[in-house]
Copies of this chain bind each other. A is one copy, B any other.
Amino acid sequence: MATIKEVAQRAGVSIRTVSRVLNEHPHVANATRERVLRVIEELDFRPNAAARYMRTGQSQLIGFLTDEVAQNVFSYDLIIGAQQAAWEHEKLLFLLNTGNDPEVEIRAINMMRDHQVEGIIYATMYHREIKRSQFPEDIPAILVNCFADDRSLPSIVPDEIGGGRLATETLLKHGHRRVGFVNVAAKEPAPLGRLEGYRQALANYGIPYDEALVRFIEEPFEGIATSTYDCVLSLLQMSDPPTGIFCFNDMMALGAYDAVRKSNLRIPEDVAIVGFDNVEILAAQIHPPLTTIELPVFEMGQLAVRMLLGEGDIAQGEQPVQHVIACPLIIRRSV
């Protein structure tokens, strides 16, 4: 690949002048500029980013670190969102998936430091707390779907409570008064928050909380649709069964669908169902299409990069910002 030197020689000017043309400095005669530009075109010259970094200290690189996010179905949009925002700033994204192995994580962060990333985005599969000490002090970091134990890093997390409330209110708004909730049994922000949202929605409608309507699926979560199937079946066999069911996620809604059908009931006429996550491939394809709460991962990825680059008004103040992102309702046909 051609270098600036070759361009200078061929255009009969000094390297400095080519550099000026490249960086759109003033004080270059028009004729000269055009000659240089022509040679650049001819040689298909592009300035070497590494060399440029050497002088300017700007690597134009962002590290995107995930625990298992890239293995999760709905999180590819997170990467795409981040990539798009990076693109707008002419930055490139390094992708590294640690598989939750601390050793890999350390090495990954080191590799990113080696390449002088301008910042690191760390995204987790599940909404959870992580250790501040994993991250170097001297590189800006943004957390996505997680937060630092000491809250010292800016983070972006979904509004679990709001989402849970919205899901439940959607059912209540349609006249359902017995609303079931199939949750997962874990002390994490997602199940805890969505349950809180569920309670708030009931309270808003003046409906007492009924323990019998709330179920918790235990780990392991592999056959989660099947566990949910059993769970929903028992819910529907109650003497006073729910007519609306809020499922912790879309995969579980799939199991709920099977249970409702098995009970010879129709969706949404007899039982309405709301999911969570908006996994398109499931939610939009099953019959009837699933009304669900979207985890706005694309926006979260985008926002992460924008925060990192200190874009405009979302620049950080003294206290690291904790962005809580609203989860919108995606209306389909299961309610």
Q: Which residues from B are CB-within-8-Å of A71?
A: 76-77, 80
Q: Which residues from B are CB-within-8-Å of A28?
A: none
Q: Which one of A10-18, A88-96, A205-213, A307-315 is at the B interface?
A: A88-96
Q: In the bound complex, do residue A116 and residue B285 qualify as a contact, i.e. CB atoms below 8 Å apart? A: no
Q: In the bound complex, do residue A1 and residue B138 qualify as a contact, i.e. CB atoms below 8 Å apart? A: yes
A281 in complex: contacting residue of B60, B73, B90, CB < 8 Å: B73
Check A124 for interface membership: any CB of B closer than 8 A: no
Residues 91-117 of A contacting B (Cβ, < 8 Å): 92-97, 104, 110-116
Check A59 for interface membership: any CB of B closer than 8 A: yes
Check A203 for interface membership: any CB of B closer than 8 A: no
Q: Which residues from B are CB-within-8-Å of A50?
A: 49-51, 53-54, 59, 115-116
Q: Which residues from B are CB-within-8-Å of A282?
A: 281-282
Copies per complex of this chain: 2
Q: How large is the interface on A (under 10, 10 to 19, 20 to 34, 35 or more residues)?
A: 35 or more
Q: Which one of A193-201, A240-248, A253-261 is at the B interface?
A: A253-261
Q: In the bound complex, do residue B97 and residue A94 qualify as a contact, i.e. CB atoms below 8 Å apart? A: no
Q: Which residues from B are CB-within-8-Å of A229?
A: 287
CA distance A245 to B254 in the complex (A): 22
Q: How far is the CB of A106 from chain B (nearest CB, A)?
A: 12
Q: In the bound complex, do residue B76 and residue A90 qualify as a contact, i.e. CB atoms below 8 Å apart? A: no
A261 in complex: contacting residue of B224, B255, B261, CB < 8 Å: B261
Check A79 for interface membership: any CB of B closer than 8 A: yes
A92 in complex: contacting residue of B47, B72, B77, B94, CB < 8 Å: B94
Check A123 for interface membership: any CB of B closer than 8 A: no
Q: Which B residue sits closest to A61, measured CB to CB? A: B115
Residues 136-184 of A contacting B (Cβ, < 8 Å): 138
Q: Which residues from B are CB-within-8-Å of A51?
A: 50, 54
Check A5 for interface membership: any CB of B closer than 8 A: no
A73 in complex: contacting residue of B73, B97, B255, CB < 8 Å: B73
Check A48 for interface membership: any CB of B closer than 8 A: yes
Q: How far is the CB of A13 from chain B (nearest CB, A)?
A: 22
Question: Assuming A1-B138, A54-B54, A222-B284, what are 9 further A-B pairs, CB within 8 angstroms?
Answer: A48-B114, A70-B79, A71-B76, A71-B80, A72-B76, A75-B76, A76-B76, A225-B285, A254-B285
